[in-house]
Structure 1
Amino acid sequence: MQLNTPIAHWHGRRVWLVGASTGIGLACAQALRAAGAMVVVSARNPQGVQNWAAQDPLVQWRPLDVAVNADVQATARAILSEGPLDLVVYAAGYYRAQRATAIDLDDLLQHDKVNYQGALQVINAVLPDMLARQGGHISLLSSVAGWRGLPNGLAYGPTKAALTHLAETLYLDLQDQGIGVSVVNPGFVDTPLTAQNQFTMPALISSEQAALEMLKGWAQGQFDIHFPKRFTLWLKLLRLLPYRLYFPLVRKFTGL
């Protein structure tokens, strides 16, 4: 079902990806560029993206720490001064496994600062321009880890749940303003973040596969872009279970 205006053709469109130094963000930037988009990529560390950006005049690299409000505002102003943005993708992410039996408040707050507050900073910086011209699309990279509480997800999961809730509210507020909103909920994707996991990740896919799923979701006008379906559809069913069934089931399958 189309909840947004489909974006199937990228030639002439301008995209800003925040958090695109590695993983899904970088793969998505490369897929969008291959499809014909003009791409601006930002992240705190250049890593593998700066060399790629330097090879293509239609790719711009702009360093950005999403935790610094002044930098977000200045970077957004500079990008918008060169033309409107058709799509803004917030893909910045921070992940460390944490349980309540070994709580680390500083780490909890760092998750919130990068995963959620950074998204608020970027939205605040780009939304006035989109509202003024009644156009554009905002896409937030969340995670199935935010769908329900999970062991080891004390720090990460709540920030992703907040992003999903934020996207839902943005959609309701902006649908009649000509602005699209989508939320991306990947399952397990092979990235530097998931490389920390010490368990077998079911239905693991590559960052490149994740990027193609995102482009397919935008082309179909989806709001909830989740993948791979062979994994995420089962998780959607789990969301419907009452707590008296959900909690024991999670303990059984995770051993935690």
Structure 2
Amino acid sequence: MNVRLKLVSNNQPNRKDITGKVAWITGASSGIGRSLAIRLAQSGWTVAASARNAAALEKLAAVLPGIIHPYPLDVTDRKATAEALAAIEANLAPVSLAVFGAGTYRRETLASFDAGAIGEMVALNIMGTVNCLEAAMPPMVARRSGQIAVMASVAGYTGLPGAAGYGATKAALINMCEALYPELERHGVRMTVINPGFVDTPLTQRNDFPMPFLISSEEAAGHILRGLDSGSFEIAFPWKMKMVMKLLQALPPRLRFALTRRMLRNDA
């Protein structure tokens, strides 16, 4: 069942949602998650916003009081994640759209390759998403309705210098979504994977290298909304970055590595 986004506004923002159009967004305190939460709320959704930064969530909720609801959460805590969803559904209504965007990024070169740092990315990017999926899938399957979107990246298409850890976590999420899609579809639940290119967020602002086709988080939110409404399995943007990465992925290894060697930096 595809969750349509063109809905009327919630006329009772301070009460339990009566429309059943509740969206749960993780990683909502900044970047794409924050912009998406605002856009969904402006489109008539009641939004449950989760992230570790409680103060940032309160500021987000103040943008549209009574429509965006803060639910502070560390998604790496399996028990807390299940409890957060239970609270959202008890306080608002069953979640019909879940966007799992909590994640982190760290550049990994041969010189800085660190098991602990990569383990932290695995814990948040992969296992944090797994905890959210474990919580969200059973009630949606039981209702035979709903849509789940997982934030991966075009970096998951193929290995790039500097993204050994980050790209691996995003490749795992793409693979996981592909594996879950047929079974969820059988039970009336739609699975979507979101693969952004470079988006101007607090995470990418750490980068000290050129980021081709960079877009704003507001633009990214627009791409995601249109993609969710279309019912596509994959939402990838901007299209130029998607095509570059898809072509790189399709090249035979000899040609691919000839190109990726050029991406090496002197400090690598």
Q: TM-score, normalised by structure 1?
A: 0.94
In structure 2, the residue matched to 1:74 is: 83
* Equivalent residue in structure 2 for 1:31, among 29, 34, 39: 39
Which segment drifts farther, 23-32 or 246-255? 246-255
C-alpha contact (below 8 Å) 1:139/1:184 kept by paired residues? yes
Q: Which has the higher contact order (CA 8 A, sep 6+)?
A: 1
Match runs of 1:31-110 below 5 Å: 31-54=39-62, 55-82=64-91, 83-110=93-120
Q: Which residue identity lines up with residue 214 of structure 1 in the other structure?
A: I
- Which is worse superposed, 97-106 or 86-95? 97-106
Task: Supply the distance in 1 between the matched residues of 2:56 and 2:86 (Cα, whole angstroms).
Answer: 25
Picking from 224, 243, 246, the partner of 2:234 is 224
Which letter maps to 2:35?
A: A
Distance 2:185 2:137 in 1: 13
SS in structure 1 at match of 2:208: coil
CA-based RMSD: 1.5
Q: Distance in 1 between matches of 2:196 and 2:7?
A: 22
Residue type matched to 2:68 in 1? Answer: V
The 1-side partners of 2:25 and 2:260 are apart by: 34
In the superposition, the TM-score normalised over structure 2's length comes to: 0.90
Partner of 1:196: 206
Residue 2 of structure 2 corresponds to residue 5 of structure 1: yes
Q: Quick one: which of 178, 184, 206 aligns to 2:188?
A: 178
Maintained 8 Å contact 2:99/2:150: yes
Alignment pair present for 1:21 and 2:62: no
SS, match of residue 239 in structure 1: helix
For residues 194-229 of structure 1, give each alpha carbon's deviation from its aligned partner in whole angstroms, at most 9, with x where no partner exists. Answer: 011111111000000000000000111111100011
Query: Contact 1:73 / 1:125 at 8 angstroms: preserved in 2?
Result: yes
Farther off after superposition, 231-240 or 86-95: 231-240
Would you say 1:240 and 2:250 are equivalent positions? yes
TM-aligned CA deviation for residue 47 of structure 1 = 4.6
SS of the counterpart of 2:25? strand
Point out where structure 1 has 5 or more consecutive residues left out of the alignment.
none
